[in-house]
Chains A and B, each alone.
Chain A
């Protein structure tokens, strides 16, 4: 059974700091991995999707890497801003259950101004 773990559970940093969020998954047989952002009381916003054949994806100040063989992904946020404060969720699409995403519990990020 695929399990996704995110570390840390919560993170508080001063504005301007670079930070890394970690995601690990137990079964490397995945189609892709996706990072989402969720604001309080809102739905999920997709940030980056990395296919299993890819190593990383970049969008603006965000960079996500994928090491499928070791079951790890990181989300790097450069020059953090208060507007980055949200919950960040990592999800994998397992080959075994091709039609669904398996989510981690999320990292709650607070960027202090």
Chain B
């Protein structure tokens, strides 16, 4: 079956504009994660969705960042009033339901965001 897909693959925007990044997880995966990979910061966790539970937003860097997951499948990460420091690769991952052991997270190809 298909892996995790993300769109767009690349996005260039002007400072102050809003952007939306999309993630389609692997069918049947109930857990969905967003990470950000930037120079000097490495890979950092942003937000996690699991089924109908309240999302874990502990990694969101500011209130300009938000995410939703509709119907337990597709997720959208929104960045409002983008800043140059938001430039990074935004990666989405999905996995089967997590337990105390945890399942392998499968990553999408990422969206490369450049804020001018």
Contacts and interface: CB of A to CB of B under 8 A. Distances in A.
A44 B102 contact: no
B107 interface: yes
B14 to A, nearest CB: 23
B59 A100 contact: yes
Interface in B65-112: 91, 93, 98, 100-102, 104-110
Q: How large is the interface on B (under 10, 10 to 19, 20 to 34, 35 or more residues)?
A: 20 to 34
Contact of B43 (A32, A49, A89, A93): A89
Interface string B15-51: 0000000000000000001010000001111001010
A102 B45 CA distance: 7
B50 to A, nearest CB: 7
Interface string A86-111: 00010101000111111111100000
Interface residues of A, number: 25
A76 B21 CA distance: 36
> Of A44, A97, A101, A102, which is in contact with the most chain B CB atoms at under 10 Å from its CB?
A44
B42 A43 contact: no
B108 A34 contact: no
B58 interface: yes
Contact of A34 (B35, B44, B104): B104
A26 interface: no
Contact of A43 (B98, B104, B108): B108
A45 interface: yes
B42 A98 contact: no
B58 A97 contact: yes
Given A43-B109, A99-B56, A106-B42, 8 more contacts: A32-B102, A42-B109, A46-B107, A51-B102, A89-B43, A97-B58, A99-B98, A104-B42
